[in-house]
Structures are given as structure tokens and as C-alpha cells.
Structure 1
Amino acid sequence: MSQQVNEISLNAKASDDLYDTRLDQSIARLFPEYSRSKLKEWILAGKVKLNNEIVTTPRLKLKGGEEIEISAMQEVQVTNQAQDIKLDIVHEDDDIIIINKPADLVVHPGAGNTSGTILNALLNHYPDIENVPRAGIVHRLDKDTTGLMVVAKTLSAQTQLVKQLQAREMGREYEALVLGNMIAGGIVDENIDRHATKRTLMAVRQTGKEAVTHYRVKKKYRAHTHIRLKLETGRTHQIRVHMAHIKHPIVGDIQYGGRPRLPKNASSDFVRHLQSFKRQALHAIQLSLTHPTSEENLSWSVAIPNDMQKLLVEMGKDLEINDMPSQW
């Protein structure tokens, strides 16, 4: 059993039938997954806004139509249990495990994902890993990002790998499909911090931590570009935020603006493939590090997953059929 603090960001619009209903009662109806006592506690603590104004009166009567926003922190008790979940293991020795993570798999348990995670799978695969903080997980990949990540099987290995990350000595390369036509590669050197109002998201902010992403163009399509990226730092959502910042959000990344955009005269097959792609098209394709015990310089790479491959094929067909400049 461990304790974890989760950021809560809730938004809703009060319907007309909530007219003359108390604020605490209204949000209990709007967010039934949270207890009335917890919601009241957040009101009193100034964590609730009506039309962008903080309110601290639970008995305040609503008029209907108000925009309600809750930004709070919640401590949750997480029980880390071993679960028989198959892992795609690329490499394993006495010190480390290299995993090829699929899409739709969370790395750590938390509120809303208390089981069925990589951590649960690791406890089943190697029970002794429970003695290593965070079950040896050194760095995360977002739920819908695929590809390579390293896990330490011992505390000493974890300590060494974390030092490599902090010293920017671990190589992490990605491939992504982004919106728009990128002319050439470059570097995004922009600090990243929590979004000012959307607390579950990140944003480019001068007050944030240093974040550097290198990218180069692999292939240009009519309305999209296939790129290769290299991380110099490792901030939360770094690639997704940086690509959105330079107006080339990742395909499928709805949170950061990657909604489907179709070039003129796109085929029905291409439209279907693009609209059915429900995750960010981002894959951790290569991982390089110094082995924590042998001190060997090691590197692994894994192929782009099938869903991204299929999308690339459709983009190629679209380019061949419509061999002309992109038109929106």
C-alpha cells in the first residue's frame, strides 16, 4: 500500500435544472464519482470556481448556466499488486529490463487506473522488484505513447540510470506523425510547466523547467509530416507540448490540438484511417544507455507499431494519388 497525490481537474456547465440548487449539492450531481464531503472540502478550500471566480460558500444558490471548474489535489491509497499481464520484453539481464510498451497501457497505478499497469505486470514478472522504488521504473511513457522504456531490477541499477537521465547521457529517440508540412528540422528550446488553467496538461511557460527537443524531417506528405525526434531533457508531455507550440501538433493528440485535418480530395479510406486513429502518433523507437553494472554502451530499437504503419501507408497512397501541394 502506498500513497499517491493526484491532480484533479474537473469542468462542467450547470444545466438549467440546477436553478436555485446549492453549489455543494449541484457539484455532487455533476461529479458523482467524488464524495459529497470531499467536494465540500474543495469548496471551502477555494478549489472551486464559478465563471472563473473562486467561491467558498457551499450553500451558494446556482442560477443555471454557470461554468464550474474544480482544480484540486487528492491523496489516494494505491495497492500495488502483481498481475499476470504480458510484457513485450526486448532485453533482460540481472540489472535491467527493456520493455516495448504498447498503446493504452498506463505505467503507474493511480486514481482511475488502480490496476492493469506496467508496474503491476513487473511485480508479477519479477517479484523482487517490489524492493526497488516505483518497481524500478526509471522514466515514463504516456498511456498512449508506444515504444521503449528501461526498468531497473535493483536499487543500485536504478540509481545509476537516474543519474544518466539527469546528466542527459541516456539517448531517447522517437518517431511521430505531425500535422502540417514541416520545411526542415530544428530544435525547440522552450521551458515547460503546468498549464495555467488546465492542470492535467502542460504548456510552454517561461516559469517552467528547461526543455529541449531536437527534430528532423523523415518524409513530407500532403498535410502531414513524419519526423524523428531526440530528447535532450525529459519533461512531462515534452514532445507533445513542443510540437503543438511550433504549430505542428502530433496526429491524434486531441489534448494538444492534433485533431484530424484532411487535405483536399482525400480518399474515403484515408479519411477513415485518419479519423479512427484515437491516440497520439508517437513512438519511442530507440533507447541508448550505459549498462549500470558492465558499463557497456548499449542501444535498442523497435519497429513502429502497426497502427502507425497503416497510417503511413495511407498517407503515402494519398500523396501518390494527389501529387500536388497541400490544400486545406
Structure 2
Amino acid sequence: MTTQPIELRHTFDEKVYGKRLDLALSEAFEDFSRSRIQDWVKQGFVKVNDEVIKSNKHKMAGFELVEINAEVEVAGDWKPQAIDLDIVYEDEDLLVVNKPAGLVVHPGAGNQDGTMVNALLHHAPQLSNLPRAGIIHRLDKDTTGLLVVAKTIGAHTNLVEQLQNRAFTREYDAIVNRVMVSGGTVDAPIGRHPTKRTAMAVVADGRRAITHYRVAEKFLDHTHLKLRLETGRTHQIRVHMGYLKFPIVGDPLYSGRYRVPTKITPELKVALDSFKRQALHASKLGLKHPSTGEYIEWKVQMPSDMQHLRDELVANRDHFEGQED
């Protein structure tokens, strides 16, 4: 795997006072793991107020300017593959993809090909010269919706900085179990689950994670939510909804034991039983264009399987509420 230089900058506020350098950086640069950031610090790639700091235990005072000049792996060894992509926007700087369920974003253990990266390299071969083939943020394999991909180093640097500064608009649709009375905000740290290797959890020593949510529609035993990410932790919405005891329908990791509603039509039971992925869709994405600075926003409808599930939930509600009249 070849590497590509990358430049990151962030100006902190007073809230980082007393924090370790590596923790502050991992919260600011959300798309990079804490272990990678720790390595960058040890290798002397990190400057705080123009001074190289090589200790991850360095305490932050607040209002520092941090600059990282490091190298990241690029997609030189990944193979292009002719896989269809639903591209909703493209220009010389970026493209926006509507990802389907079942498509893995990055090659990895057990998924060396057939991924979005392989498809992107076939569509735009120059992406092999960019970190992660230009992909700025991720979606889980079975989460659908919008992803932005940078096509140049300049656009990549700009978009990563926007993401770090929480300047992206990222909104999701989700269908959750149980009826939620009203919306709110979850501000609960997320880290690796203490016993389940593949899962995340709300843990005291996790990274800060903030999810805003509101009720879009109520059904008899489910709720359609609109959610907005302020941070972007692994499995964040799925973990936070499970933490609130409103797990996402079909979620294989965080939904717990499925409870069949008392009022349910045969059609809804089939729809729920056959929904084998998390009912989560990235429906809106907004950002400032890296070249023009103009704010641009894209929206996509829920995929057909989620729309069918929602329609059956509506029909189920109408059926049983009609019986009460």
C-alpha cells in the first residue's frame, strides 16, 4: 500500500483545557482512529502552536492551533471493479453517492473486493492517488444513503477539515421499535463494547458522541425518526438508539430480542420478519463546496425496503385505529 501526504489543522477552544493531546485530537479529527493519532504524535508529525509535541500525555491549555503533517495509505493496491454506483452529483472536485444496503465501503478482512472503493476506482481511476480513494466519511454495510467522495487532494483536505469542524449536515431516517413521545438529544460517549468484539457501546471512557433526534411519525408500536449527527462515531445512531431503549428495527447488533406487537396485521408481521438489516438511511447531506465555498445540500428518499416497511406500519395503524371507531 502506497502513502500520500495529508495536512490537517484545527483551532481548539477552552473546552479542551486539561485534556491529553491524543484525546483532544481524536475528538477533533473524528475520521482517524486514536491509535493512528497516537502514532502520528510519537513520530513528530504533530505541532501545537508551531511546536512539535511527541508526547500523547501532553496537556492541552485551550485555544491552541494544532497542525498535523502526516502520511496516510492510499488505494494504490486496490483493484477497480465495474460495480454500478448511484451517483447523485459529480463535478471536478467531488462526487456524492447514494449507497445501497449490502455494499461495504472499504476493503478489509473478508471484503477484499466488491466494495464501494473498488467501484469508485473503476469510475474515476485518479482516486487511487487519494487517501481511502477519496472517501471522507463512512456508512455501515447495511446502512443506505449519501456519502461524499473527494476527487482531488485539495478537495480532500477541505472536506476532512469541514467534517472535523462539524460543518457537515448529516441527517438520517430511522424506524425504531416502541413509540417515542418526543424528540431530544443524546450526549453519551461511545467506545468499544467491553465484551462484544464487533460492537460498540456507551462507555464512560469513550469518545464524546452527540445525536439529535425528532419524531417524524408515530405508529402503534414503532416510530419513524429524523436524526442529525453532530459527531460521527462508529455505529453512533445505532448505539444511541439502543441506549435509549428504542433500538432500530432489524439491527442485528443492537436491537436485542424482538418483541411481536399485540396489534399487528399479517402483512406487517411479514415485513418485520423479513427486514434483516438496520432500518437506517442517510437521507440528507450538506457541505460547503471545496472550490466555491457555496453551501450545497442533497436529499434522497428512503430505499424501497424501508418505504415498504413504513407503508405497512401506516396500514397496520389505520387498520386497528379504524376498529376502535
TM-score, length basis structure 2 = 0.75
Which SS does the other structure have where 1:113 is aligned? coil
Q: What is the RMSD of the two structures over their aligned residues, measured on CA atoms? A: 1.8
TM-score, length basis structure 1 = 0.74
CA contact (8 A) 1:214 1:232 kept: yes
Structure 2: runs of 5 or more not aligned: 4-74
Counterpart check, 1:209 vs 2:244: no
| 1:141 shift after superposition | 0.2
2:215 & 2:256 partners in 1: Cα distance?
18
Counterpart check, 1:173 vs 2:160: no
* Mapping of residues 195-234 of structure 1, within 5 Å: 195-234=193-232
Which SS does the other structure have where 2:268 is aligned? helix
CA contact (8 A) 2:93 2:291 kept: yes
CA contact (8 A) 2:175 2:224 kept: yes
Which SS does the other structure have where 1:168 is aligned? coil
CA contact (8 A) 2:134 2:150 kept: yes
CA contact (8 A) 2:76 2:128 kept: no
Which of 250, 253, 258 does residue 251 from structure 2 map onto? 253
Counterpart check, 1:266 vs 2:260: no
TM-superposition CA deviations, 1:168-188 (whole Å, max 9, x none): 111100000000010000000
2:256 & 2:124 partners in 1: Cα distance?
38
TM-superposition CA deviations, 1:46-97 (whole Å, max 9, x none): xxxxxxxxxxxxxxxxxxxxxxxxxxxxxxx994100000100000000001
The AA in structure 1 aligned to 2:310 is L
The AA in structure 2 aligned to 1:254 is P
| 1:265 shift after superposition | 3.5
Structure 1: runs of 5 or more not aligned: 4-76
Deviates more, 1:314-323 or 1:265-274: 265-274
Structure-2 residue corresponding to 1:51: none
* Mapping of residues 1-328 of structure 1, within 5 Å: 1=1, 79-257=77-255, 260-323=258-321
1:226 & 1:257 partners in 2: Cα distance?
15
* Cα distance, 1:255–1:324 mapped onto 2, change above 3 Å: farther
| 1:155 shift after superposition | 1.1
Structure-2 residue corresponding to 1:41: none
1:193 & 1:88 partners in 2: Cα distance?
32
CA contact (8 A) 1:188 1:214 kept: yes
Larger Rg: 1 or 2? 1
2:109 & 2:313 partners in 1: Cα distance?
37
Deviates more, 1:263-272 or 1:86-95: 263-272
2:322 & 2:194 partners in 1: Cα distance?
41
Which SS does the other structure have where 1:225 is aligned? strand
CA contact (8 A) 2:105 2:117 kept: yes
The AA in structure 2 aligned to 1:91 is Y
The AA in structure 1 aligned to 2:137 is H
| 1:2 shift after superposition | 6.6
1:257 & 1:175 partners in 2: Cα distance?
16
| 1:262 shift after superposition | 2.4
1:265 & 1:187 partners in 2: Cα distance?
30
2:304 & 2:280 partners in 1: Cα distance?
12
1:142 & 1:134 partners in 2: Cα distance?
16
2:222 & 2:265 partners in 1: Cα distance?
15
The AA in structure 1 aligned to 2:168 is M
1:259 & 1:168 partners in 2: Cα distance?
35
CA contact (8 A) 1:78 1:110 kept: no
CA contact (8 A) 1:222 1:324 kept: no
* Cα distance, 1:216–1:160 mapped onto 2, change above 3 Å: same
Moved over 6 A (4+): none
The AA in structure 2 aligned to 1:307 is D
User: Sequence identity of aligned pairs in percent?
Assistant: 55
| 1:228 shift after superposition | 0.0
CA contact (8 A) 2:218 2:224 kept: yes
| 1:211 shift after superposition | 0.3
2:291 & 2:257 partners in 1: Cα distance?
44
* Cα distance, 1:263–1:235 mapped onto 2, change above 3 Å: same
